[in-house]
Amino acid sequence: MLNVGKIEEGFVLDHIKAGKAMKIYHYLGLDKMDCPVAIIKNARSDVMGKKDILKVECDINTLNMDILAFVDRNITINVIKNGEIVEKRHVSLPKEIRGIIKCQNPRCISNTDTNLPHIFYLADEKKEIYRCRYCDERYEENDAEEII
Amino acid sequence: MAKRDLITPQDFTVEEIDHLFTLADDIRKDRSRYAHACAGKKMATCFFEPSTRTRLSHETAMLNLGGSVMGFPDGGVTSATKGETVADTARVISCFADIMVIRHPREGAAMVAAHYASIPVINAGDGGHQHPTQTLTDLYTIRTLQGHLDNFTIGLCGDLKFGRTVHSLINALVRYPNVHFIFISPPELRVPDYITEMLNDMGIPYEEHIRLEDAISRLDILYMTRIQKERFFNEDDYVRLKNFYILDAEKMKMAKESCYVLHPLPRVNEIATEVDDDPRAAYFRQVQFGVYMRMALVLTLLNIHVPTEQ
């Protein structure tokens, strides 16, 4: 088993579907931050077979965690204080995603007037469908997607 | 009082649309009483994409109300060619006019304009997305011709993928009880998934057909559309699909005596001219109804009240 040191203050994102950790790393803007981050890929899991884990040593309140459920609804957030888990949070789908993902519709105004914020609204919670606020195009996840 | 816009048909409740149609009926009865209702008011028609009918219909509506009109018929002559954003154009136009009508090739452009403008904005078409004034015209035409907007079967035929009039009309009609939809299109131009998903979720029945002949006899309203060249990135696809549907006198024989034919116009060849003399051909009356409806819309958005006749 791979061992990564404990963190004193921060949070651990657990039960991330294997392969999604890097996406979350970018969505949360961790690439732009100075704090220590451990990305564990393909960790063994009794329930999931394999999973990703992110350990981040920074104040959880400085980050917008709304996007997590959009990536994977099964993620759990363990808030760590003084090296101990003090809170477990489950994630729910945000009503709106702003400035994180881009509309893929080439005819959408948000792709011409580049100063406009990219906004998606939760069109169907059960089916987890997001649509562009401007053109109603459904967001489709793909490998070539651009992150803002 | 907060300003109001018309960006999608859902911006107005069914009750508000009823009120609009009652007002349009009153205007139709005696237009002269409304001849000076908008005196001193200016309408800017900002057409970044050409459309003679829609622009002239709005301008006619404003002129009929005694107001003035200004604007441009084509984005090629505007600051947009210099890189001006829709948001800035909307702010600038707000300094000149009392109401703005915008058509733009980009989907969502009218919503952006409405957000940044301080005057009411009417969406006269944003790319392949929405065309709410055409929808209100269509609803008003159907209501006037058959007397009601519920309990009927409508067939939508042609380009159901890029046809914004179709998307707007479906979104508006789902709010009325017991409307049955029949979609008739080539597989490449099927109605988008978000529309069929919405119908499924709402439990509203619909059918999809490729041949018009398979559905025409069951329709109360046949809504024809043009295969729009400007929506295709590929010329070959357009050429292949443009002659897919042609409504002619022979096909009209299969339709009910009470089945009205609507079309948002312009038509190319999808309705043969021999159909024009059929009393069920309602597409030119639809144009006239559109003017009355737009007059009612302008009055409503400008919050101008003309006492109704006692």
The per-residue pLDDT for range A53-112, each reduced to its tens digit, is 999 999 888 888 888 888 888 899 999 999 899 999 988 999 999 988 899 999 999 998
- Greater confidence, A143 or B82? B82
Please list the active-site residues of B. 53-54, 82, 103, 131
Q: Which two tokens stand for residue B146?
A: 């058959």
Provide, as residue numbers in chain A, all residues whose Cβ is less than 8 Å from the Cβ of B107: 105, 107-109, 134-137
| Regions of chain B where pLDDT drops below 50 | none
Could you report the per-residue pLDDT of B49-88, keeping only the tens digit for each? 988 899 999 999 999 999 999 999 887 766 666 778 999 9
Task: Please report where in the chains the tokens 């101008």 appear, as a residue.
Answer: B304
Provide, as residue numbers in chain B, all residues whose Cβ is less than 8 Å from the Cβ of A109: 86, 104, 106-109, 111-112, 126
Could you report the per-residue pLDDT of B158-168, keeping only the tens digit for each? 999 887 789 88
Domain A94-148 carries which CATH code? 2.30.30.20
pLDDT at A5 over 80: no
| Cβ atoms A25, A63 nearer than 8 A | no
Which of the residues A105, A109, A125, A137 would you substitute to probe the B interface, choosing the one with the greatest number of B C-beta atoms within 10 Å?
A109
Cα-Cα-Cα-Cα dihedral of B87, B89, B91, B97, to 10°?
-140
Could you report the per-residue pLDDT of A106-127, keeping only the tens digit for each? 999 999 898 899 999 999 888 8
Close Cβ partners of A129 (under 8 Å, ≥ 6 residues apart)? A122, A123, A138, A139, B197
pLDDT, residue A16, reads 94
ipTM over the 0.90 cut-off = no
pLDDT, residue A70, reads 87
Q: What span, in angstroms and rounded, lies between the C-alpha atoms of A30 and B194?
A: 34
B133-287: which CATH topology?
Answer: Rossmann fold (3.40.50)
Contacts by B102-106, CB closer than 8 A, 24 or more apart: B102/B46, B102/B47, B102/B48, B102/B126, B103/B46, B103/B47, B103/B48, B103/B49, B103/B51, B103/B54, B103/B55, B104/A109, B104/B48, B104/B49, B104/B75, B105/A107, B105/B48, B105/B49, B105/B75, B106/A107, B106/A108, B106/A109, B106/A112, B106/A113
A107 and B87 within 8 Å at the Cβ level: the answer is: no
Provide, as residue numbers in chain A, all residues whose Cβ is less than 8 Å from the Cβ of B105: 107
pLDDT, residue B208, reads 97
Backbone φ and ψ for A104, nearest 5 degrees, come out as -90, 0
Task: Please report where in the chains the tokens 């046949």 appear, as a residue.
Answer: B222
Q: What span, in angstroms and rounded, lies between the C-alpha atoms of A131 and A95?
A: 11
B201 and A124 within 8 Å at the Cβ level: the answer is: yes
pLDDT, residue B6, reads 97
A10-90: which CATH topology?
Answer: Alpha-Beta Plaits (3.30.70)
Please give, rounded to a whole number of angstroms, the shortest distance from the CA of A140 to a CA of chain B: 13
- Return the amino acid letter for B169: L
pLDDT at A51 over 90: yes
Domain coordinates of chain B in residue numbers? 9-130+290-301, 133-287
- Give the pairing of strands B221-224 and B260-262: parallel
Could you report the per-residue pLDDT of A21-43, keeping only the tens digit for each? 998 999 898 998 899 999 999 99
pLDDT at A147 over 60: no
B9-130+290-301: which CATH topology?
Answer: Rossmann fold (3.40.50)
Going by the DSSP 8-state scheme, the letter that residue B207 receives in this structure is E
Residues of chain A with CATH 2.30.30.20: 94-148
A115 and B201 within 8 Å at the Cβ level: the answer is: no
- Residue A144 exposed, middle or buried by CB count within 10 Å (0-12, 13-18, 19+): exposed
Q: Do domains B9-130+290-301 and B133-287 have the same CATH topology?
A: yes
- Give the pairing of strands B221-224 and B152-157: parallel
pLDDT, residue B64, reads 98
A115 and B85 within 8 Å at the Cβ level: the answer is: yes
Residues of chain A with CATH 3.30.70.140: 10-90
pLDDT, residue B19, reads 96
A116 and B104 within 8 Å at the Cβ level: the answer is: no
Q: What span, in angstroms and rounded, lies between the C-alpha atoms of B103 and B80?
A: 13
Provide, as residue numbers in chain B, all residues whose Cβ is less than 8 Å from the Cβ of A123: 194
pLDDT, residue B114, reads 98
